């Protein structure tokens, strides 16, 4: 049973130390920009202690939106005594909020690393995500006034 290496987009980025002081927040953070293709309603949560914490993690994740599925990801390289969980939210906005608020959070003695998992999306989910983004962008554009 071989363990898979972590995908490049799942690797935690180092904090940015070259940002000007006026642009820096209260704590140092990594700077990463996501496209709509990289965002997903699927999240991988690394660093969960191997203590059978599925129910506790589900309770924590449910604060940010409806969780459709949560399970341990088998055969993935993790730190010793930790597990990686896969969480699927009903809405992509819930996943965005959960990612932002859960990343680098302390959880039962471990520090969580949360990343999007777009490789877990089905073709229908990807298509729905792109169509929803198109609708959102069109709604934000100023309405054209018909001058005829």
Over 90: is that where the pLDDT of 10 sits? Answer: no
Residues 6+ apart with CB under 8 A from 119: 7
* Interval 29-51 mean pLDDT: 86
Let me know if residue 124 belongs to a domain: yes
Is residue 147 a part of any domain in this protein?
A: no
| Domain of residue 95, residue span | 39-131
The pLDDT value given to residue 30:
67
Q: Structural domain tally of the chain?
A: 1
- Residues 115-129: pLDDT tens digits? 999 999 999 999 999
78 in a structural domain: yes
Asked whether residue 54 is domain-assigned, the answer is yes
Q: Among 29-33, 61-65, 75-79, whose mean pLDDT is lowest?
A: 29-33
Res 16: pLDDT: 67
Assigned domain for 62 exists? yes
What percent of the chain clears pLDDT 90, i.e. is strictly above it?
59
Residue 17 lies in a domain: no
pLDDT, residue 36, reads 84
Helix ranges (H only) for 4-113 are: 54-61, 92-102
- Residue 49: pLDDT over 60: yes
The CATH number of the domain where 52 resides is what?
3.30.70.330
Residue 86 lies in a domain: yes
Q: Name the phi and psi angles at 55, rounded to 5.
A: -65, -40
Q: What pLDDT is attached to residue 142?
A: 86
């Amino acid at each position: 049973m071989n363990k898979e290496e972590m995908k490049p987009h799942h690797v935690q980025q180092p904090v940015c130390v070259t940002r000007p002081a006026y642009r820096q927040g209260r704590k140092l953070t990594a700077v990463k920009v996501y496209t709509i293709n990289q965002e997903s309603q699927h999240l991988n949560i690394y660093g969960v202690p191997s203590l059978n914490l599925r129910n506790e993690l589900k309770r924590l994740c449910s604060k940010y939106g409806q969780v459709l599925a949560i399970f341990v990801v088998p055969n993935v390289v993790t730190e010793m005594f930790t597990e990686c969980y896969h969480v699927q939210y009903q809405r992509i906005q819930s996943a965005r909020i959960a990612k932002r608020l859960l990343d680098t959070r302390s959880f039962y003695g471990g520090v969580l690393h949360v990343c999007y998992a777009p490789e877990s999306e089905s073709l229908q989910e990807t298509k729905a995500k792109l169509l929803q983004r198109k609708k959102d962008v069109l709604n934000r554009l100023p309405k054209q006034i018909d001058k005829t």
